[in-house]
C-alpha cells in the first residue's frame, strides 16, 4: 500500500502499511467520506507530525489521544491548532506550565509546528476523528499503528524523552525501554483531569536531559 508519509518513516513503517489491519483502516476512512462524514484533520494533514519530525530527528515525544473534533482545529499535531484559532483549554494549561517552569512569556500562538521542527514528535494515538464526535475513530486500528510508531522510536533512536500526560498516555510506558530512553509522567493538562499537571516542570526537565546527552535543548517559547 502506498501511503504518503515522510520517507524515513515510510521505510521504517512499511511493514505496518502492508498489514491487513491498515488496509481495513484505509477502507474504513474511504467509506466514511463516501458516506458524507466530515473527517479531521484533512487528508493531507493526517501524517503532518511525521512530515515535520523525521525519525532520525526525534528527540522528544508528546503523546495525545485523538485529534480535536471541532471545525478548523485539527492539524495533525497533538494539542496544536492553526494560527488564528483560539487555543483549547489543554493547550492554555501547557503554556501556563511553560511560563511558570521556564520563567518566560508565551505569545499564546497555538500553532506548535515550531516545536515539531526541533524534534518534538506531536503524536496522537488516534490520527483521525469524525467532526463533532470525539473518539469516534478510536476502534479502527490507529492505536495498533501508533503503538508501532512508539516501538520504532524505542528501537531505532537513543535517549528520547517521552512526555506521558494522563492515564491514556501513561499506559504506553510499557512500550518504552527506560534503560535507553526517558519517561516523564504527569496528569493530563485538561482542566477536567484529576491530578497535578501544574508543577511537573517537564519542559525544563526535558531540556536538562537533552543537554546532558549533548543534544540541543528545545526552544519552547512560541
Indicate the angle between helix axes 202-212 and 89-102, nearest 10 degrees.
60
pLDDT of residue 1: 55
Label residue 3 by pLDDT band (50, 70, 90): confident
Task: Convert the pLDDT of each residue in 177-222 to its tens digit.
Answer: 999 999 999 999 999 887 889 999 999 999 999 999 999 999 999 8
pLDDT of residue 2: 66
Task: Convert the pLDDT of each residue in 53-96 to its tens digit.
Answer: 999 999 999 999 999 999 999 999 999 999 999 999 999 999 99
Active site residue: 66, 100, 101, 219, which one?
A: 66
Check whether 107 has a pLDDT greater than 90: yes
What is the widest separation between alpha-carbon atoms in the chain?
A: 52
Mean of per-residue pLDDT scores for the chain: 96
Active site residue 208: no
Amino acid at each position: 500500500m502506498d501511503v504518503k508519509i515522510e520517507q524515513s518513516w515510510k521505510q521504517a513503517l512499511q511493514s505496518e502499511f502492508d498489514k491487513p489491519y491498515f488496509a481495513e483502516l484505509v477502507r474504513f476512512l474511504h467509506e466514511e467520506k463516501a458516506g458524507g462524514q466530515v473527517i479531521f484533520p484533512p487528508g493531507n494533514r493526517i501524517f503532518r507530525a511525521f512530515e515535520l519530525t523525521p525519525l532520525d530527528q526525534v528527540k522528544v515525544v508528546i503523546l495525545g489521544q485523538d485529534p480535536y473534533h471541532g471545525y478548523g482545529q485539527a492539524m495533525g499535531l497533538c494539542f496544536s491548532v492553526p494560527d488564528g484559532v483560539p487555543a483549547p483549554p489543554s493547550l492554555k494549561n501547557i503554556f501556563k506550565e511553560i511560563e511558570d517552569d521556564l520563567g518566560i512569556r508565551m505569545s499564546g500562538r497555538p500553532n506548535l509546528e515550531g516545536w515539531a521542527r526541533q524534534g518534538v514528535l506531536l503524536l496522537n494515538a488516534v490520527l483521525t476523528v469524525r467532526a463533532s464526535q470525539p473518539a469516534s475513530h478510536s476502534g479502527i486500528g490507529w492505536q495498533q499503528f501508533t503503538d508501532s510508531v512508539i516501538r520504532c522510536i524505542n528501537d531505532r533512536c537513543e535517549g528520547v524523552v517521552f512526555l506521558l500526560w494522563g492515564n491514556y498516555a501513561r499506559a504506553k510506558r510499557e512500550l518504552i525501554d527506560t534503560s535507553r530512553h526517558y519517561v516523564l509522567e504527569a496528569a493530563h493538562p485538561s482542566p477536567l483531569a484529576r491530578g497535578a499537571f501544574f508543577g511537573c516542570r517537564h519542559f525544563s526537565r526535558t531540556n536538562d536531559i537533552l543537554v546532558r546527552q549533548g543534544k540541543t535543548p528545545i526552544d519552547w517559547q512560541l
